[in-house]
Amino acid sequence: MMNPTLILATDLDGTFLGGSPAQRRELFDWLNDHPDQLLIFVTGRDLEFIRELIAQPGVPRPRYIIGDIGTSVYDGQTFLPIPEVEQHIAGLWGQGTESISALLDREPYLQLQPAEFRYRRSYDCDPAAVPAQVLRKIESAGFDWLLSGGQYLDVLPRGISKGPTLLRLLDHLRLPRDPVLVAGDTLNDLSLFQTRLKGVAVGNAEPQLRQETRHMASVYESPQPGAAGIWDALLHYQFRNRKEICS
C-alpha cells in the first residue's frame, strides 16, 4: 500500500490501548473496516508482547512495528526485522550492551529489566534518585538516555528514538508524510511529536509531555483518553467525518 489515506503511527500503552473497552472497540473496528489505511505500532514493547496483543480478537494488525523505543523495526506481517532500517541502529549501538552493562548494572538505584533487547539497555528506577553525573557518563560513553513514565531509564543509540526511526522507515518505504498521524502519551513519545508530523497527545498524557508539546503547532491536545483521543484526532485532522460510525 503506497498511497494510504491515513498512516497511523501510534504508541500502545496508554494510547492505542488506553481508554475504555468501548472506546478501544470503536477505534479498532473503524481501522479494521478501512483497508486503505496503514497502521504502525511505535512502542517500547518487545515483539512477543505485540504477538500476544494482535492474537486477541478485534485488535488490528499493524503493517509495520517500531519496537523497543525505536531501536527495532519489523514487518508486521512476517515479524521479520527490516535490515535496511535496522542496520543504521545496529551500527550506532555497536558494543553498547556490554558498555552500558559495565557502567550501570551495579548501581543500587537501578534494576535491570528482565527482557533482552538487541539495541537498548533498560532499567526500572525512581528518576529522582538517578544522579545527574550518571546521566552525563551515559552521554560521554556515546549514548542517549531517556527517563519516562516516572519509573524508567532507557539507554539508546545516539540519535535513535521513536521519531527518527519512524522517519527513516517512511523514507525507506517511500511513503508520503502528509497522511501521517502520530499519537502518544509519555515522554518516550516526545520524539514522535518533534518530527512535526501531525500529532495527538491524548487526554491522559503525562504532564511532562504536555509541557513539552503545548506550544507545538503540529500537536493537537485531545481531552479524550487513549484510543478515544486518537478517534477524536481523526476528526480534528479530517481523516474521518463527524457522521462516520463503525459498522
The predicted pLDDT at position 2 comes to: 66
The predicted pLDDT at position 115 comes to: 82
The predicted pLDDT at position 240 comes to: 87
- State how far the alpha carbon of 240 is from the alpha carbons of 129, 135, 201, 244, in Å: 45, 43, 18, 7
HSE-up of residue 203 (Cα within 13 Å, Cβ side) = 15
With a cut of 60, say whether residue 152 has pLDDT above it: yes
In 88-218, DSSP assigns E strands to 110-112, 121-125, 143-148, 152-157, 180-184, 198-201
With a cut of 60, say whether residue 62 has pLDDT above it: yes
User: Strand 143-148 and strand 152-157: pairing?
Assistant: antiparallel
Mean pLDDT over all residues of the chain? 94
Q: Taking each helix axis from N to C terminus, what angle separates 162-173 and 83-93, rounded to the nearest 10 degrees?
A: 140
Helices (H) and strands (E) in the chain, counts: 9, 11
The predicted pLDDT at position 241 comes to: 75
| Residues whose CB falls within 8 Å of the CB of residue 202, separated by 6 or more in sequence, listed in order | 14, 15, 18, 183, 184, 185, 222, 224, 225, 226, 228, 229, 230
Mean pLDDT to the nearest integer, 161-184: 97
Q: Read off the pLDDT band of 246 (50, 70, 90).
A: very low
Identify whether the C-beta of residue 17 lies closer than 8 Å to the C-beta of residue 226: yes
Query: Among 2-6, 55-59, 191-195, which stretch is predicted with the lowest mean pLDDT?
Result: 2-6
